[in-house]
Amino acid sequence: MKDTEKIILLFDDTCNFCNGTVNFILARDKKDSFRFAPLQSEAGQKLQQQYGLRDGENDSMVVISGNRIFLFSDAALEISRRLPGLWPLLYVFKIVPPFLRNGTYKWIARNRYKWFGKSDSCRIPNEKERKKFLP
């Protein structure tokens, strides 16, 4: 898979839940489909600007695939759709009206620091993971 075909996940680097999600994906990404960048990084900021996201419009996860951008529950469903095993079955939740899906997503996002904690430092990928993180 060429780098232009990779799925890019922008995530909140200080959020323990978001970092756990990145670890979860890294452990299952056998096809090397995903690339990652913290929302707070230079690469993350440039991509948000390139795709027209206003500062602070989304502070938890953004998925970019090709020329498409996925926010809120659509981002989570797009991730599940691209994972191996039974995870794509979660994509069935796409039939749930977006206001319900996104409402639930935003409620979890609002409470993620309280429930899962917040890190004082940015995630540093190990040597094996480094190629999966945008510079």
What's the total number of domains in the chain?
1
pLDDT digits (tens, 9 = 90+) for 45-97: 999 999 998 776 777 899 999 999 999 999 999 999 999 999 999 999 999 99
Residue ranges of alpha helices (H) inside 33-121 are 42-50, 72-82, 98-116
With a cut of 70, say whether residue 3 has pLDDT above it: no
Q: Which two tokens stand for residue 75?
A: 């981002």
pLDDT digits (tens, 9 = 90+) for 109-129: 999 999 999 988 777 788 888
Which of 103, 104, 74 is CA-nearest to residue 91?
74
Q: What is the pLDDT of residue 87?
A: 96
Conformation bin of residue 11: beta by default, left when phi > 0, alpha when psi is -120 to 50: beta
3-state secondary structure 9-47: EEECCCEHHHHHHHHHHHHHCCCCCEEEEECCCHHHHHH
Q: Which domain holds residue 46?
A: 3-132
CA 86 – CA 134 distance, rounded (Å): 28
CA 52 – CA 101 distance, rounded (Å): 23
What is the reported pTM? Answer: 0.90
